[in-house]
Amino acid sequence: MSNKKILFLTRSLNYGGAERQLVALAKGLHERRHKVEVAVFYHGGPLERDLQEAGVPVISLGKRKRWDVFPFLWRLICLVYREKPDILHGYLFEANLLTILLKPMFPRVRMIWGVRASNVDLSQYDWLARLLFRVACFFSRFADTIIVNSNAGKEYHQKRGFPEKKMVVIPNGIDTEIFKPDAGSGTRIRAEWGIKEDEKVIGLVARLDPMKDHPTFLEAAAILVKERKDVRFVCVGDGPDLYKSRLRELSCKYGLETKLIWTGTRSDMPFVYNTLDIATSSSSYGEGFPNVIGEAMACGVPCVVTDVGDSGWIVGDTGIVLAPKSPGSIVMGWNSLLSLDLTKMMSLKEKVRRRVIENMSVQKMVYNTEQLLAE
């Protein structure tokens, strides 16, 4: 493939699954000698440093607030005019829609959409989010190519008007050199959290969002602590203050004060995964390719997941896949893994990591994307 000039466009580079994938893809394409730049609506996200250290420029469009529209658009138009990219690659709906707005002004620039979700429950979001989704469904026909990170996401969006012929599934990539087994780091984090050596740690790594269904996780935790005294639970992630306070009230209602740790956002996620004996995804809708499952598996952590998005495909036969909104089923899944003896658990850990290496590497994602862009 001849070298391309690729400009990624996204809202911000805060901690998040989609944002980490953008960083991995941009760095991978940069290493393959493409000229890559990333433009962000809002400057200052912690992942910007990863790109800058890799030599990938991050350009701020200086958006000040939601209704800062026309000056922001003018800066974006000037940026595209100045940089003259071969490809403008949007990431998530707001950025995707902007590529279509620019298409008449830059007919030679190939407009790529990045879609990262599946069955979105729009009733959980505000009117603007619902409007943007409907507008995206209509204007998707004008994108040159739409890259979806899951088969579930492709099927969902196709049913809502996205053109099937323009949609291509490229699963996310997990950096198995960063996310890998490391018992020492896990021991350090357990000490930080005050977890005893003989306690089993079950974790939910997810932003505090209704789609992640923390209430089901908390209810399952409340059931398990009545059955076992050797378990502790960890929720890693942050979210809106109001929703956060509701979840913490619910955990207190279930009597989990001494059994559950809320860590907020962490920048040392490989260490966090190595602290866990079991990782859980309790999402009830909206997932495409949940990175946290693949990242945990790359660290050798077996997973109990709900069958939402491509979660079941990611886990395959290395973990347990359950129906959403079923706390009792989650408890059964946890008990099934906790009952394994040491030999069987070590064998499972190796199998879990091997599945990620063989099917979900960053190198494979970058290569597949590069081949698509070359067409």
How do residues 310-352 score in pLDDT, each as one tens digit? 999 999 999 999 999 999 999 999 999 999 999 999 999 999 9
- What pLDDT score was predicted for residue 316? 96
The CATH superfamily holding the domain 5-173+361-374 is Glycogen Phosphorylase B; (3.40.50.2000)
- What pLDDT score was predicted for residue 337? 98
Q: Which one, of 269, 283, 331, lies nearest residue 47 by Cα?
A: 269
Residue range(s) in the chain whose domain bears CATH number 3.40.50.2000: 5-173+361-374, 183-359
Burial of residue 17, with CB atoms counted within 10 A of its CB: 0-12 exposed, 13-18 middle, 19 or more buried: buried
Q: Which residue numbers in the chain have pLDDT < 50?
A: none
Whether pTM exceeds 0.75: yes
- What pLDDT score was predicted for residue 121? 67
Which class is 183-359 in CATH?
A: alpha beta
